[in-house]
Amino acid sequence: MMKFRFRRQGADPQREKLKQELFAFHKTVEHGFPNQPSALAFDPELRIMAIGTRSGAVRIYGAPGVEFTGLHHNAATVAQMHFLPGQGRLLTLLDDNSLHLWEIVPHNGCAHLEEMLSFQLPSRPVFDGASTLPSLSRVTVVLLVADGNRAALGTEGGSVFFLNMDTLTLLEGQTLAPDEVLRSLPDDYRCGKALGPVESLQGHLQDPSKILIGYSRGLLVIWSQTAHCVERVFLGNQQLESLCWERSGSTVVSSHSDGSYAIWPADSGSSLVLQPTAATMPYGPFPCKAINKILWRNCESGGHFIIFSGGMPRASYGDRHCVSVLQAETLVTLDFTSRVIDFFTVHSTLLEDEFDDPQALAVLLEEELVVLDLQTPGWPAVPAPYLAPLHSSAITCSAHVANVPAKLWARLVSSGEQQSPQPTSSTSSWPITGGQNLAQEPSQRGLLLTGHEDGTVRFWDASGVALRPLYKLSTAALFQTDCEHADSLAQAAEDDWPPFRKVGCFDPYSDDPRLGVQKVALCKYTARMVVAGTAGQVLVLELSDVPAEQAVSVASMDLLQDREGFTWKGHDQLSPSTGPLPWPAGFQPQVLVQCLPPAAITAVTLHTEWGLVAFGTSHGFGVFDYQRKSPVLARCTLHPNDSLAMEGPLSRVKSLKKSLRQSFRRIRKSRVSGKKRAVNASSKLQEANAQLAEQAYPHDVEVTPVQRRIEPRSADDSLSGVVRCLYFADTFLRDAVHHGPTLWAGTNSGSVFAYALEVPAAATGSEKRPEQAVEAVLGKEVQLMHRAPVVAVTVLDGRGRPLPEPYEASRDLAQAPDMQGGHAVLIASEEQFKVFTLPKVSAKTKFKLTAHEGCRVRKVALATFASVACEDYAETCLACLTNLGDVHVFSVPGLRPQVHYSCIRKEDISGIASCVFTRHGQGFYLISPSEFERFSLSARNITEPLCSLDIRWPRDTTCDSYRLQESPKLSQANGTPGIILAPRSCDGSPSPARSKGAGDTLEPSEATLSPISMDSATSADTTLDTTGDVTMEDVRDFLGRGQTAGPYHHLSLPKLFRGTPEESAECGAR
């Protein structure tokens, strides 16, 4: 019979107001490199750069922290982008033959990007007698005429149309048809052949009335707009790819499909030029690929630059992605690891300057952006303050560390600078410096750690909008791999010609997949960290400011404990290098612990105050004393029937018999349970009881929702022994009087093991404990009823607050925990949250998330939410991400639901698996292999772009009548709309919470309690490996889903508004 529990009628208005001051959902900024870039533009006056993507996204970058984002509503590929110099306006051409005009508009002291006008070019004949505009074939090239209010459009049909930029409409009577050009050609050149598509349009810097037109056939024409006639013709016969007009207008450079480029005189007396003055095939004489784009830049010091992409010999290097830089006798072939999209030079564009004098070369590749300093000998690369390729090697895990001490921060920056020292003669800095960052300097520093497939851990400055690389740690040097041998062979095979030079850091290929980093944990107070990998390797490292040459201690731990009947069928362990090894300044390994069998590490935690590290795999967990370099505990968690755990994630041999047996067992079990339900339960009786309940109780009384029936999981399910979480805590385990160190471990089968640790106490005034052995004794063992996997475990003190991190309380960096009242342990499984009292381990309170919401827990973390209205008020809450992509926030320790938001698409399994929560109510998740989406659950701590742009051009107010609806927040193709749910006025002005700055601010007194993540000792970490996080439930949810949600641009504004009906009506009325 259904059970009802009465609650208070309506919600507490005071609590609802407090929720609005504590919680608000924002998607704020995308960190990393745009996924699948397709177009590039640069404004030399404002010094800003734009990147368009295949998903229709538009990103504009200036100085670090200056970012503008937009998204085309039809989500087509951005084919071309062109800035109107100095105006803050951008014209985009999509592959659906539509044009869009964007503008950076100031609003409330800041600026944002809006789509002002849109125009779909007519591609079919118009039969309306009133229209005299001809139909357009596909637009191939766009040129913004120097006068600023017109654009020339070259088409596949060979025509050139002109567009009014103020209204984004075609100008009648100014079209240049191919017939007009053909009339100016000699008869023998015409000979019935078409000119082909318009491949290039170039403007004359000194004379804006002249346009250089290049046709695919090879013909070049200088067209005079004032005289409306052809001034000069260059009779080329090779298929044209690109054109460049030299600054003075006396020389034209053309590149062709056969890998050659030609130089034509544009100031000769004759109007008909038959031959170029020079034609060169740089990498001939054998057949070469096309030179897709070419630039000519002159220098005051003499010796012009010729920069071009492509042109490689087809047979030998046709698969290389290259940009060649030629100056006088110096030729450098820049060899990249991904396809070249576009490139530009940063040079002088002032009319009074006689020379270009290029300062830098920016190359946009498919996977990264590379900038070279052209004023320094050797043309070194300029370190990028943003747009770093996060996926230079595939990201396998991530973690966030908040409130990093200034000393550790300075040491990390120093170690990073020693890794990539710049030439002493280099004076160039980042050339894209437009705009002004208005965000306040962050009051605390945040680190984002990413583990990668090649065994590296990268440290990123995540304090502000720009994600800046700080330091890179590599663990591959500790192991014997074949990478050195392969590199020497590759270098020996390369000749001196072409003069290749490897540029860029994108390298998606891993020498050995066993090097992949699965878990990381960092202690910010002692500068120690743990890096755990795919082959069961656990590294304990310590930060050093000077290089050193030392041997690394190696220890092994058998987690099977000689259990019979299990044979490891997976990959072998990595072989460590022997003898002393040179280590650069930075994190240097001290101890290597090898788990046996060498399965991937699924959980790790570090306690530097006790000198202990704990780690878990699919077979069990262990504790290692890295101070004495001796094992403390090894516990096997395998079920007797769990042979699948012995296969390993990299094994190609799977037990087909085991899979078939489990499948038939599930089918048989579902049939039996179905028959039992049919016999024992009467559906008619349940319907009658429900009707009686509706009649008996008033409709305005809130009742708890009907709970779903949750089937308990089988004890012999595969991978039931996977250790999902590990946690160190100083709490009461044996009795209510004596507290001490404990270790908590949660598994995939719903088991929680609690061990009491005997750790020798450090002497007074010393942080190093005596050299005595640490002992571990099993204190408690909890088995959850439904055997749901345990996601996280944390201990709450007598005030219901999480325990501080190691050394936080002893160094007076956080309030000491309450050891007088009774402690409690919060156990979060995939189905529910439950609080048990300690030391009796009796249930105190719980919330059944799966039963109420029909979802499963994927990520949890404790976070501090500061009030936007009161500086001294904050609450510690539990943030939870589900398999449906929703974020829920619960009070602690009461576990009362506070708010929930839709954050990630439920189809985006990798995005959900990659989510990381911070200690101050923010989070990150991957929206593509190269981008993190940043979001905030806090009404106070928001990191978003706050910037302005100094635009000095007379803005035409008549264009406001053409303005489109403001572009939505960029969400990428696999993201979700960044709808702002914070309290906002109906006129769109931001709430006071959003104008306080971009960084996580210092927290009030309660924030000093240092609530930590429940996944590790630092913050929520995640693994993208299928061992622990992407479970079978994810795949079932993905495959068994019904109709998915519609595209983003079909949503209407009322549906996106998350307020109450009264608030929605009020905003509509305004």
Convert the pLDDT of each residue in 327-348 to its tens digit: 988 999 999 999 999 999 999 9
What average pLDDT score do residues 787-793 get? 95
pLDDT in tens, 144-185: 987 768 999 999 999 999 999 999 999 988 899 999 999 888
What average pLDDT score do residues 1043-1059 get? 37
991 pLDDT more than 50: no
> What is the predicted pLDDT for the residue at 695?
47
Task: Provide the pLDDT confidence category of residue 207 given band limits of 50, 70 and 90.
Answer: confident
Largest CA distance in the chain: 106
> What is the predicted pLDDT for the residue at 3?
47
For the ranges 227-236, 407-416, 613-622, the lowest mean pLDDT is seen at: 227-236
For the ranges 103-107, 134-138, 873-877, the lowest mean pLDDT is seen at: 134-138
Q: Which of 129-138, 618-627, 633-642 has the highest mean pLDDT?
A: 618-627
Q: List phi, psi (to 5°) of 214.
A: -120, 130
Task: Provide the pLDDT confidence category of residue 646 given band limits of 50, 70 and 90.
Answer: low
Strands 272-273 and 229-235 turn out to be parallel
pLDDT in tens, 858-868: 999 999 999 99
> What is the predicted pLDDT for the residue at 971?
40
> What is the predicted pLDDT for the residue at 452?
95
What average pLDDT score do residues 526-550 get? 96
pLDDT in tens, 908-950: 999 999 999 999 999 999 999 999 999 999 999 999 999 999 8
CA dihedral angle for residue 658, residue 659, residue 665, residue 666, rounded to 10 degrees: 150
Residue with the larger pLDDT of the pair 289 and 133 = 289
Q: C-alpha distances in angstroms, 1053 versus 146, 657, 977, 983, 1049?
A: 40, 53, 12, 16, 10
Question: Which of 979, 791, 993 shows the shortest CA–CA distance to 902?
Answer: 979
d(CA 360, CA 344): 9
Q: To 5 degrees, how large is the angle CA 648–CA 651–CA 653?
A: 115
What average pLDDT score do residues 954-977 get? 43
Q: Are 662 and 647 in contact (CB under 8 A)?
A: no
d(CA 610, CA 589): 19
pLDDT in tens, 413-458: 999 999 876 654 444 689 999 999 999 888 889 999 999 999 999 9
1 pLDDT more than 80: no
Task: Provide the pLDDT confidence category of residue 489 given band limits of 50, 70 and 90.
Answer: very low
Chain centroid to Cα 611, Å, comes to: 34
d(CA 356, CA 205): 11
Indicate the residue type of 561. Answer: Q
958 pLDDT more than 90: no
Q: Are 593 and 633 in contact (CB under 8 A)?
A: no
What average pLDDT score do residues 291-307 get? 93
Residue with the larger pLDDT of the pair 1062 and 518 = 518
140 pLDDT more than 90: yes
Question: Which of 752, 751, 732 shows the shortest CA–CA distance to 740?
Answer: 732
- Return the exposure string of 1015-1024: e unless at least 16 CB atoms fall within 10 Å of the residue's CB, then b: bbbbbbbbbb
Question: Which of 867, 798, 820, 821 shows the shortest CA–CA distance to 1006?
Answer: 867
Beta bridge partners of 554: 592
Q: List phi, psi (to 5°) of 972.
A: 65, 170
984 pLDDT more than 70: no
> What is the predicted pLDDT for the residue at 660?
62
Beta bridge partners of 533: 517
1020 pLDDT more than 60: no
Beta bridge partners of 730: 741
Task: Provide the pLDDT confidence category of residue 534 given band limits of 50, 70 and 90.
Answer: very high
Which pairs from 772-777 meet CB under 8 Å and 24+ separation?
773/625, 773/628, 773/630, 773/632, 774/610, 774/611, 774/612, 774/623, 774/625, 774/628, 774/632, 775/632, 776/623, 776/632, 776/633, 776/743
Question: Which of 884, 846, 928 shows the shortest CA–CA distance to 1037?
Answer: 884
User: What is the overall mean pLDDT for the chain?
Assistant: 82
Q: List phi, psi (to 5°) of 215.
A: -105, 155
Q: Where are the alpha helices (DSSP H) in 888-978?
A: 909-913
d(CA 789, CA 805): 25
What average pLDDT score do residues 566-574 get? 90
- Return the exposure string of 234-257: e unless at least 16 CB atoms fall within 10 Å of the residue's CB, then b: bbbebebbbbbbbbebebbbbbbb
Residue with the larger pLDDT of the pair 752 and 275 = 752
Question: Which of 83, 89, 356 shows the shortest CA–CA distance to 205?
Answer: 356
d(CA 1034, CA 251): 62
Residue with the larger pLDDT of the pair 807 and 593 = 593
Question: Which of 581, 593, 644, 651 shows the shortest CA–CA distance to 618?
Answer: 644
What average pLDDT score do residues 244-248 get? 90
> What is the predicted pLDDT for the residue at 710?
67
Question: Which of 244, 241, 252, 239 shows the shortest CA–CA distance to 194?
Answer: 239
For the ranges 475-489, 856-870, 996-1010, the lowest mean pLDDT is seen at: 996-1010
Q: List phi, psi (to 5°) of 134.
A: -75, 165
756 pLDDT more than 80: yes
Task: Provide the pLDDT confidence category of residue 1040 given band limits of 50, 70 and 90.
Answer: low
Q: Where are the alpha helices (DSSP H) in 621-682?
A: 656-680
For residue 743, count other CB atoms closer than 10 A to its CB: 28
d(CA 607, CA 619): 22
253 pLDDT more than 70: yes
